[in-house]
Amino acid sequence: MNPNLFTASPILQPRRRLVIAAALALALPAGTVRAQAGAKLSELRIGFQKYSTLTLMKTHGDLDKRLAAQGTTVKWIEFPGGPQMLEALNVGSIDFGNVGEAPPIFAQAAGADLVYVANEPPSPTAEAVVVRKDSPLKSVAELKGHRVALNKGSNVHFLFVKLMEKAGLKLNDIEVIFLPPADARAAFERGSVDAWVIWDPFFAAIQKQTGARALADGSGLVSNHIFYVATRKFAEAYPQAVATVIEDIARVGSWATQDPKEVASVIAPLIGLEHSIVELSVKRYAYGVKPMTVAALAEQQRIADVFHGLGLIPKPIRTADAVARAR
C-alpha cells in the first residue's frame, strides 16, 4: 500500500477537523463538549469487521499514531458481524464500531444505550436478489411461488420487503428460507432455493464465481448505509476522540474512492477472496462519512417500523433516541 495515498492535504485537513468537530458538538447535549473537552482517554477500543473502512484504517496505522500523540492507545477488536459487535458494545467491551442498518435497531430494541455518531453514503447497488445464470426467472414479480433465501433480520431482509412491495407481491406469496450467507450460498448452488437476497462481498463472489444474475438491487428502494456507533457514555465524555476517528475515516474514505484496486489488494487476503471479486464489491461501496442527520435517522426508523411489523423486534423504538441530540 502506498502510504502517501492516505495523506490529506495540509489545507483541507484542518478545515475538515473543524467541520467534523462542530457537527459532533451539535449532536451532543448542550454543555457536554465544554465540560468534557479536557477529559483524558488512555485507551480507545474499536470494534471492526474485515470488510470495512475501519480495516483499512487499522492496516495503515495512522489513527494509532495520531491518538498516541494525545496519550491514547488504540485497541482493535475484530468481530464476525454487527450483532456480535453491538453485544460487546452494550456490555462495555468496546467504545466504538461500525455496523450496517439492522444491528443497531435490534440492539436498541434490546435496551443497548448506543448512539449513532456518523454514517457512510448510501450503497444501494451493494445488495441484490440474485438467481442462477440458467434460471428462467427474469423479474422480481416472477419470484411468486418460489423459494428465496435471505439472512433473517439483516439489511437484505428490509430490501426484500421493499422489493416485494414494488413488485406488488405479499411476503406469503414467496417461500422465504432464512439462512446465513454460507448456508444460503450452498442452498443456492445446489438448487434448493430459486433466489438469494445477499450483500457484498458475497454478492460479488456469487456473480464472479458462478455467473449468477441480479434480478434487482437496492437502487431506488433502500440506502444500505454503514453506521458508526459508540456507547453514549463514551461519545459524550470524549467528543474530541470521536472527532479524530471520524476525520480519519473521512480521509481514508477519500483515498478508497480514488483507488479501488489498492483497496481490494488490502482487503482480499484478509477475507480470502480473489482480487477481482473484492474490487467489484469495493466499486459498489460508497466510501466517505458524515455526521448523523434527521434524514438518516428517519430512514432507520422506517426499517425499525418494518421489523416491528414483522415481529422481528419485540417493541417499537424511536431511532431518534439513539443520539444525544438529533438535529
How confident is the model over 21-34, as a mean pLDDT?
40
**Same structural domain, 7 and 47:** yes
- What is the per-residue pLDDT for 327? 32
Lay out the sheet containing 147-150: strands in order across: 175-178, 147-150, 195-199, 127-131, 213-217
Percent of the chain at pLDDT > 70 equals 87
Round to whole Å and give the CA distance between 299 and 263: 29
**Same structural domain, 175 and 210:** yes
Summarised one tens digit per residue, pLDDT across range 202-232 is: 999 999 999 999 999 999 999 999 999 999 9
Q: Does 78 fall in a domain? A: yes
**Same structural domain, 100 and 204:** no
- What is the per-residue pLDDT for 80? 86
**Residue 200: domain span:** 124-217
**Same structural domain, 110 and 39:** yes
How confident is the model over 249-255, as a mean pLDDT?
93
Q: Is the pLDDT of residue 9 over 90?
A: no
The strand pairing partners of 44, in sequence order, are 74
Summarised one tens digit per residue, pLDDT across range 184-196 is: 999 999 999 999 9
Choose the final residue of a domain: 159, 193, 217: 217
Q: Does 182 fall in a domain? A: yes
Angle at which helix 275-283 crosses helix 260-271, to 10 degrees, equals: 120
**Same structural domain, 233 and 305:** yes
- What is the per-residue pLDDT for 323? 87
- 26 CB-contact burial (10 Å; exposed 0-12 / middle 13-18 / buried 19+): middle
**Same structural domain, 118 and 137:** no
Q: Is the pLDDT of residue 57 over 90?
A: yes
- What is the per-residue pLDDT for 23? 44
**Same structural domain, 204 and 133:** yes
Choose the final residue of a domain: 172, 201, 217: 217
Q: Does 165 fall in a domain? A: yes
Q: How confident is the model at residue 8 (pLDDT cuts 50, 70, 90)?
A: very low
Q: Does 327 fall in a domain? A: no
- What is the per-residue pLDDT for 199? 96
- What is the per-residue pLDDT for 292? 87
Q: What are the Cα distances from residue 324, in Å, to 4, 103, 117, 189, 320?
A: 36, 19, 9, 46, 9
How confident is the model over 138-165, as a mean pLDDT?
96
**Same structural domain, 146 and 100:** no
How confident is the model over 42-69, as a mean pLDDT?
94
Q: Is the pLDDT of residue 10 over 80?
A: no
Percent of the chain at pLDDT > 90 equals 80
- What is the per-residue pLDDT for 47? 97
Summarised one tens digit per residue, pLDDT across range 114-123 is: 999 999 999 9
Q: For residue 299, give the nearest of 321, 317, 319 by alpha carbon.
A: 319
**Same structural domain, 314 and 172:** no
**Same structural domain, 111 and 255:** yes
Q: What are the Cα distances from residue 241, in Å, to 47, 86, 89, 147, 176?
A: 15, 20, 17, 47, 44
Q: Is the pLDDT of residue 15 over 70?
A: no
**Same structural domain, 209 and 230:** no
First to last CA, the chain: 38
User: CATH no. for residue 270?
Assistant: 3.40.190.10
Cell numbers for 176, please give them.
Answer: 422465504
Q: For residue 282, give the nearest of 200, 181, 198, 216 by alpha carbon.
A: 200
Q: How confident is the model at residue 325 (pLDDT cuts 50, 70, 90)?
A: low
Q: Is the pLDDT of residue 234 over 60?
A: yes
Q: Does 267 fall in a domain? A: yes
- 308 CB-contact burial (10 Å; exposed 0-12 / middle 13-18 / buried 19+): middle
**Same structural domain, 164 and 19:** no
Choose the final residue of a domain: 177, 194, 217: 217
The total of structural domains in the chain comes to: 2
Q: Does 93 fall in a domain? A: yes
Q: Is the pLDDT of residue 54 over 80?
A: yes
9, 11, 14, 19: CA torsion to nearest 10: -100
Q: Does 71 fall in a domain? A: yes
Q: How confident is the model at residue 28 (pLDDT cuts 50, 70, 90)?
A: very low
Peptide bond into 260 cis (omega under 30): no
User: What is the overall mean pLDDT for the chain?
Assistant: 87
